[in-house]
Amino acid sequence: MGIDRVLVTGAAGLVGSAVLDLLAANEIAATALVLQAPERDLPAGRVVVGDARDPAVVASALRDADAVIHLAAIPAPDRDPDEVVFGGNSLATFTVLDQAGRAGVRRIALASSYAICGLPFARRPLTMPYLPIDASLPLQITDPYALSKRADEATAEMIALRFGIDVVALRLPFVGTADHRLPNMAAHYADRPEDGAADVWSYLDARDAARALLAALSPAEPGHHVVYVAAPEILAPQPTDWLLERFHPGVPRPAFEGRTVPIDLAPARDLLGFSAAYPWNAA
């Protein structure tokens, strides 16, 4: 892979922790950028405490790094004022990517979100344009979090063009682990499948999210890319077609076998060589 040190922003979060563990397992040095001093030791050679929106902090964190995995963000639109969600997320992404480009970093992976499609946090009723979901899906954004992710992807494209580097944005779905988030959400979908309709019941284990982000540092084609990643089967126990007939009626789509996730995962396989290795299994 030819990577000596990776700067991981948002390194104390669920996905960030999994990324640090994966880098350590692959004997790749890591610098962890965290907003507050962590309550536990992080598996990183350096830990920098500071705000990802601050160019001086980011420049310091980038010392000796030749790749960046950018995760630092407010993860939803309902915890902070709209202007804080959009402004904070988009400024952090611009600052990290711009400083990385200026520092000579050639490889960047960042967390975008499935929520960019607009449905998960929609502030008025929306209908899915078609299925399966792919990167060409028309976006229907009504919330500041999805808007911040659209700005992030635009920033990624600009940085790739300006500095001639590889920047891959991964549209991550609901992320959890076998002992955190996934069991509760699977049980919830079993009882109330309608609550997963906006997310098309998609998910990804945090370890797979980390694997996808690391793979995104070495895409098969250079430049800027946007890719959906998800587990190949949905988190709900019901068949996909049954769910879609009830909760996405009339949406143009093919038939989906079994519990196949209605997201096009071929680009992740072709560009990144990625497929999920940690499927949820309630048993």
pLDDT tens, residue by residue, 180-201? 999 999 999 999 999 999 999 9
Evaluate whether residue 241 is within a structural domain: no
Evaluate whether residue 246 is within a structural domain: no
Residue 174 is predicted with a pLDDT of: 98
Evaluate whether residue 27 is within a structural domain: yes
Residue 283 is predicted with a pLDDT of: 37
Residue 40 is predicted with a pLDDT of: 84
- Give the Å distances, CA to CA, from 42 to 8, 54, 246: 11, 22, 45
CB burial of 156-180 (b: ≥16 within 10 Å; e: otherwise) equals bbbbbeebebbbbbbbbbbbbbeee
Tokens coding 230: 């998800």
Residue 163 is predicted with a pLDDT of: 98
Please tell me whether residue 260 adopts helix, strand or coil conformation: strand
Residue 1 is predicted with a pLDDT of: 60
Evaluate whether residue 242 is within a structural domain: no
Evaluate whether residue 60 is within a structural domain: yes
Evaluate whether residue 253 is within a structural domain: no
Q: Find the helix or strand (DSSP H, E) in which 46 lies.
A: strand 46-49
**Count of domains forming the chain:** 1
Query: Which CATH number is 268's domain given?
Result: 3.40.50.720
Residues of the chain with pLDDT under 70: 1, 282-283
Residue 2 is predicted with a pLDDT of: 85
Q: Give the residue from 156, 170, 171, 207 showing the smallest Cα distance to 23.
A: 207
Domain that holds residue 14: 5-177+202-232+260-272
Evaluate whether residue 281 is within a structural domain: no
Please tell me whether residue 271 adopts helix, strand or coil conformation: helix
Residues 6+ apart with CB under 8 A from 41: none
